[in-house]
Amino acid sequence: MNSTTNQITACEPEDCSSCTADCSSRMNLNDKVIEITTDEGETMRCLVALKYQMEQQDYIAVMPLKDNPEGDIYLFRMILDGTKLDNIEDPDEYNRAAEAFGIAMEKEQKKKYE
């Protein structure tokens, strides 16, 4: 994905039976599964792994649900009140966001066992 903003779009009707989101015509980042349209026009359905903050900025970690045998997770900066995603182009920011994701994920795992 290149540096322009990705738009969150609506879910498919067949998702309704397993979805826990409060449905509307547009998905939001509070949903567990979101659909991301890349800059190239490709649509990816992704599981929201975690939303977290770093340096007073909101980030989101998502995992594509198809064609992802390695279980890759993508990190994005959340913008415009959580309605859009922005790529993290700066390698230093990305490394800090990845480290913050690891720490936040570890905390979430600990909460599950308390």
Give me the pLDDT at residue 32, please. 86
Nearest by Cα to 9 from 1, 19, 31, 72: 31
What would the two tokens of residue 99 be? 């480290």
pLDDT at 82: 65
Amino acid 19: pLDDT = 45
pLDDT the model gives residue 39: 79
What are the CA-CA distances from residue 104 to residues 3, 11, 20, 54 (Å)? 25, 27, 23, 10
At 30 the pLDDT is 58
| pLDDT at res. 92 | 97
pLDDT at 20 (0 to 100): 46
- Per-residue pLDDT of the chain (114 residues), as tens digits, is 433 344 444 444 444 444 444 443 334 555 688 888 877 888 889 999 999 999 999 999 999 998 888 889 999 999 877 678 899 999 999 999 999 999 999 998 888 787
Please state, in angstroms and rounded to a whole number, the distance separating the CA atoms of residues 56 and 110: 23
